[in-house]
Amino acid sequence: MSRWGRRARRSAAVLALSGGLVLGAGLAVQGVGDDGAPAAALAVPADPTVAVGDPAAAARSLQQRLRRLPGDWQAWASLGNAYVQQSALTADPTWYSKAEQAFARSLQERSDGNDAALVGQAGLAASRHDFARARSIAEQALETNPSSAAAHAVLVDALVELGEDDAATDVLRRLLELRPGIPAYTRASYLFELRGDHEGARLALDEALGLAVDPADAAFAHRYLGELAWGTGDLPEAQRQFEAGLERLPGSAPLLAGLARVAAARGETELALRLWTDVVQRLPEPGYLSELGDLYAALGRQAEAQAQYAVVDATVQLFRDAGADPDLEHVLYAADHGDAAGALAAAQRLWTSRKSVHAADAYAWALHVNGRSDQALALAREAQRLGTRSALFDYHRGMIELSLGDRAGARRSLTSALALNPAFSVQHAPRAQQALAELGGPS
């Protein structure tokens, strides 16, 4: 079969599978009680599927154009997107205000028919984790241009994070019919993954990889193929995918982070430390900083761990000052690092605005570390309502069940976590192993 024939076959398969997502979502929510509250921890990724090459260079070029043509509304919208990409590549949220100003200027120059600026504003809201605003603006963009693939893509992201899974699937199906490209297939992969269908997720990412022309697009597909393998404990495949991504995009911090996790899982701690140090120098995101701190802590190097945690705290504050609360990540970080009250306050804020399965898991864990496991269990169950296969979800549920005296349930959940990925966390995997051993071993 020709390359194009294989691609058409894969595309048809993904479209067929995506139709099944609607049925799967409907079945998944049956039986959820009124008191049930509906999330690497996999968050919907910021959309890197529109490759911009060097966003700093793109911004400089657009700035030069706008000095000559200050009324170019399309250039203002493109400049805003370049600023958002700049923030994503540098973990510097101060670019958000510049992006906001650029989109506003674009709409000032042209208020009617300017779906480009509206999509940009929606994407910016999503980057700031304001998913209700992202949804509202994306819907405005679709009123302006019902065929906007970019608006459909942002709307999928927002709906997933708001916990509106059926609606997200419907929008994704329209996106796949409208423009079956990389943004559509990467989102299809994520929805498959949320439903525990890793084969469907892999198939969709393979399709995205087959369409990738720009190195950044190919690297993105390899990254998430690696994440899929990592999530099921397939270290050789995870390493292969991360290395393939780095061949396309050398120095990519997310791909280096993937290799760091693999190295730590194999006990190659010095290599893992070197890789993590490189990662946080390139992209000092709170999640990466805390993972390096956790590795130091696991090695008994407490002073170095505390130094990383101090940087996490400062970085979280930087994001908040820029109007971008790293809510989900902060809940889990605070819960795992001694700030139980802060974790619960952040989780309660999170739950008022987002009902995703990841938000449910984070809220459950925050309640647990505050001694409220009876309330946490309903949320831990809700976190798995879609069938998401997550070692972290299983671990959280197992420890909650254990604290409630449900030894059989805890044994099942902890067995599931370690069977899925025995090295899912340098901090929590050893605790899961110890707890399971005290329960009599795997069920």
User: What pLDDT, on a 0 to 100 scale, did the predictor assign at position 321?
Assistant: 81
Q: By C-alpha distance, which of 223, 226, 220, 182 is closest to 204?
A: 182
Cα separation, 10 vs 206, whole angstroms:
8
Q: What is the pLDDT of residue 34?
A: 28
Q: Which amino acid is at 289?
A: L
Q: What does pTM read for this prediction?
A: 0.86
* Pair 368, 376: CB distance under 8 Å: yes
Going from the C-alpha of 409 to that of each of 183, 204, 384, 420, the distances in angstroms are 39, 34, 14, 17
Based on C-alpha coordinates, what's the Rg of the chain?
Answer: 21
Mean pLDDT by 10 residues, the chain (443 residues): 38 45 29 26 34 77 94 95 90 91 97 95 93 97 96 96 95 94 94 95 96 93 97 97 97 97 97 97 93 97 96 87 76 96 94 94 98 98 97 98 98 98 97 97 92
Residue 103, CA distances (Å) to 83, 96, 108, 116, 219 in order? 10, 11, 9, 9, 28
Q: Which of 289, 287, 288 is nearest to 331 (CA)?
A: 287
Instruction: Give residue 7's identity as a one-letter amino acid code.
Output: R
| AA identity, residue 372 | R
The kind and range of the H/E element at 150 are: helix 149-161
Angle at 311 between CA 305 and CA 315, to 5 degrees: 145
The pLDDT, as a whole number, for residue 173 is 95
Mapped onto helix, strand or coil, the DSSP state of residue 298 is helix
CA 330 to chain centre: 14
Q: What is the pLDDT of residue 41?
A: 24
Q: In the structure encoding, which two tokens stand for residue 180, read together?
A: 């079956």
- Please tell me the distance from the alpha carbon of residue 266 to that of residue 136, in angstroms, as a whole number: 45
**Crossing angle for the helix pair 198-211 and 215-231, to the nearest 10 degrees:** 170
